[in-house]
Structure 1
Amino acid sequence: MNGLADADSRTSYEAVTSGGFHTELSEAEVREYMDDANMEVDDRLKNRGLSDRRLAKIERELTRHFIKFLVDDERQVQSEDIGPVSFDYAGALSAEGLKATTHGQQAVEYDTTDTLGPDGGDFWSVTA
């Protein structure tokens, strides 16, 4: 993998992996998702009048969303039953898209242009 260097990103590896966010992925793997988030922010939000600070937060949350949405072992639990144990996870085949994880929801919230939200077309809505 050839991940994004912090200097090429609005966020940093440290920012992505701080604040209680936990992942078992290697730094190189996290940087690959940082690159994906950077590309999405550049393509969809860069010239829409959002501040660099806001874009950095969106990029951080998109990175976290990608990890919790796309990586099988990292998926966020959406619901659980205690007995007999049952878990439902957010995942790439969820029609929920960015709404499937708390990080995706936060990215949509930070996007005051509504480009990432339901009115702008949730780019991670995928159906089986």
Structure 2
Amino acid sequence: MIFSDGRPIYSQIMEFIIQEILLEKIKPGEKVMAVRELAMELSTNPNTVQRALQELERLEILYSIRGRGRFVTDNQQILTALKEEKKNEVVKDYLQKMANIGLSTDEAIREIQRFIEVKHNDND
């Protein structure tokens, strides 16, 4: 993972783990890598990884079992809300970027529809 932009690294690690969960690369109830292992994989400080994992626990996305490690929540309400939140962020970001180039929301939606139609025709 390459860290970018001005956001804190722990925040980017959180986003990485959340994306892994949403893509079901880490499934509900599954153990998350240990702090040191994850720090080595991400080439970052274990304290930074620890902070990210603690924040994910605070948000109830992860939970700990003493002596066993951290696990992804199997609470479907939390996972559904997480997916909804990320979906809204993506849509909001898209609409903002389209507004930045002078397109209205309606025009942005039409562009998505046009893109899907072109993509669908390419697959025929």
**TM-score higher than 0.5:** no
What TM-score, normalized by structure 2, do the two folds share?
0.27
When Rg is computed on C-alpha atoms for both structures, the one with the higher figure is 2
Provide TM-score, normalisation by structure 1. Answer: 0.27
